[in-house]
């Protein structure tokens, strides 16, 4: 038999437990509603993303086909027109190749099928060759590309770093593409690379429109764009930076950004040396090439 005091204490205890359970249930319900809302947003964003991707592929293809047809109709005395159209074809093919590489990378990352392939990479040569690929795109906007590779005393010039050459090249390509796209005309894009505490650090600095604090929160989201306007300067769809973030996470590194709107933006990549079971003498001077080599000729 319980005394009145014990009975009241037990009732109070059970009332408190029920109240806490109710609070937890309400909290869980709110969390489920939030998850459901995010899932709905995700589906809508994916649909919008697919629409953007379709345009990014179809438009360059249509331009290449149309320009090629026009070249066939050009008379011999109008050779200057041919040269101009060939430049346009190169530009469209370059952009198409670049977009497709990001799409394929995103698909592999989403499926969890992309694992690091670690080799000894000549980082200096890799960044140089990647920068060279973007020189023509930069020249169209009269933007100069400057690259500095700084090594601490005691490190040889032929420096090799254990990482994935292909993935590192995609990361740098995406950063360079954005830097050129959002720079003001006749400005400079500065690429800097150095080794700090055995980590490879690469910074890409542009002097352009920058990124607002609000947009900095979503800039790495795979299915979001910073601007949905038809005439927006931002033709991208957020894929490149999200791919970069996923690759850097895969390599156990960090990707950070600092930006002052209408002044400058700095993206910095910091990655540790990769772990590998391969022969330490295996070398890789470069990642997979784009469709065009440095001279603009097809492989």
Q: Please give the distance of CA 61 from its chain centroid, rounded to a whole number.
A: 23
pLDDT tens digits, one per residue of 259-278: 988 999 999 999 999 876 55
pLDDT of residue 92: 78
pLDDT at 299 over 50: no
pLDDT band at 237 (very low <50, low <70, confident <90, very high): very low
Phi, psi (degrees; rounded to nearest 5) at 247: -65, -45
Break the chain down into helix, strand, coil percent, rounded to 5.
Answer: 55, 20, 30
Q: 37 in a domain, yes or no?
A: no
Predicted local distance difference test score (pLDDT) of residue 31: 85
Per-residue confidence (pLDDT) for residue 25, from 0 to 100: 86
Q: Which pLDDT score is estimated for 155?
A: 62
Mean pLDDT score across all residues of the chain:
78
% of the chain beyond a pLDDT of 70: 76
How many angstroms separate the CA atoms of 69 and 241, rounded?
Answer: 35
Given a cut of 70, whether residue 36 has pLDDT beyond it is yes
Q: What pTM was estimated for this model as a whole?
A: 0.66
Q: Say how far apart CA 143 and CA 258 lie, in whole Å.
A: 21
Per-residue pLDDT tens for 188-230? Answer: 999 999 999 899 999 999 999 988 887 777 777 655 444 433 3
Sign of the CA dihedral with 41 first, then 181, 289, and 90 last: positive
Which helix or strand (DSSP H or E) is residue 283 part of? Answer: strand 283-284
In this predicted structure, the answer to whether residue 287 has a pLDDT above a threshold of 60 is no
Q: What confidence tier does 126 reach under pLDDT thresholds 50, 70, 90?
A: very high
Contact 189, 204 (CB under 8 A): yes
φ, ψ for residue 24, nearest 5 deg: -65, -40
End-to-end Cα separation, the chain, in angstroms: 92
Instruction: Decide if 74 is inside a domain.
Output: no
196 part of a folded domain: yes
Say how many domains are in the chain.
1
Residue range 81-91, pLDDT digits in tens:
788 788 788 77
More confident: 288 or 14? 14
- Shortest CA distance to 251 belongs to which of 151, 97, 109? 109
Question: What pLDDT shows up at residue 296?
Answer: 42
DSSP for 219-280, written as a single string: TT-TT--S---TT-S----SHHHHHHHHHHHHTT-EEEEEEETTTEEEEEEEEPPPP--S-T
Question: Is 70 exceeded by the pLDDT of residue 138?
Answer: yes
Q: What is the CATH number of the domain that holds 197?
A: 3.30.565.10
Q: What six digits make up the tokens of 252?
A: 């156990």
Position 153 scores a pLDDT of 62
Residue 182: inside a domain, yes or no? Answer: yes
Backbone angles phi, psi at 279, to 5 degrees: -60, 125
SS3 (DSSP) at 188: strand
- Domain residues for the domain of 252 are 119-284
Q: Which residues neighbour 297 within 8 Å (Cβ) at sequence distance 6 or greater? A: none
110: in domain = no
At residue 165 the predicted structure's pLDDT band, cuts being 50, 70 and 90, is very high
Q: Establish if 192 belongs to a structural domain.
A: yes
293 located within any domain: no
In a domain, 102, yes or no: no
Alpha-carbon distance of 143 to 145, in angstroms, equals 7
- The pLDDT tens digits of the residues spanning 45-74 come to 565 556 656 666 777 777 788 888 778 777
pLDDT of residue 202: 96
Per residue in 169-191, pLDDT tens? 999 999 999 999 899 999 999 99
């Amino acid at each position: 038999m319980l005394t009145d005091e014990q009975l009241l204490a037990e009732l109070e205890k059970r009332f408190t437990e029920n109240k806490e359970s109710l609070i937890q249930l309400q909290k869980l319900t709110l969390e489920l509603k939030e998850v459901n809302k995010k899932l709905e947003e995700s589906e809508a964003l994916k649909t919008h993303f697919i629409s953007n991707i379709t345009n990014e592929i179809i438009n360059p293809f249509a331009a290449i086909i149309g320009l090629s047809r026009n070249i066939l109709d050009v008379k011999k005395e109008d050779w200057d027109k041919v040269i101009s159209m060939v430049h346009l074809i190169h530009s469209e093919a370059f952009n198409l190749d670049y977009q497709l590489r990001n799409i394929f990378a995103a698909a592999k990352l989403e499926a969890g099928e992309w694992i690091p392939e670690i080799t000894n990479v000549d980082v200096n040569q890799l960044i140089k060759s990647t920068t060279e690929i973007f020189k023509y795109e930069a020249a169209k906007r009269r933007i100069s590309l400057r690259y500095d590779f700084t090594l601490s005393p005691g490190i040889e010039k032929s420096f090799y770093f254990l990482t994935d050459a292909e993935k590192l090249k995609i990361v740098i390509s995406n950063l360079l593409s954005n830097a050129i796209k959002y720079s003001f005309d006749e400005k400079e894009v500065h690429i800097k690379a150095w080794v700090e505490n055995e980590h490879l650090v690469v910074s890409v600095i542009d002097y352009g429109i920058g990124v607002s604090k609000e947009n900095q929160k979503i800039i790495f989201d795979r299915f979001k764009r910073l601007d949905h306007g038809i005439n927006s300067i931002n033709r991208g769809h957020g894929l490149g930076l999200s791919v970069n973030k996923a690759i850097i996470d895969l390599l156990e590194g960090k990707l950070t950004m600092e930006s002052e709107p209408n002044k400058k933006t700095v993206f910095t990549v910091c990655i540790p040396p990769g772990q590998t079971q391969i022969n330490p003498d295996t070398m890789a001077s470069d990642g997979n090439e784009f469709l065009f080599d440095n001279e603009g000729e097809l492989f």
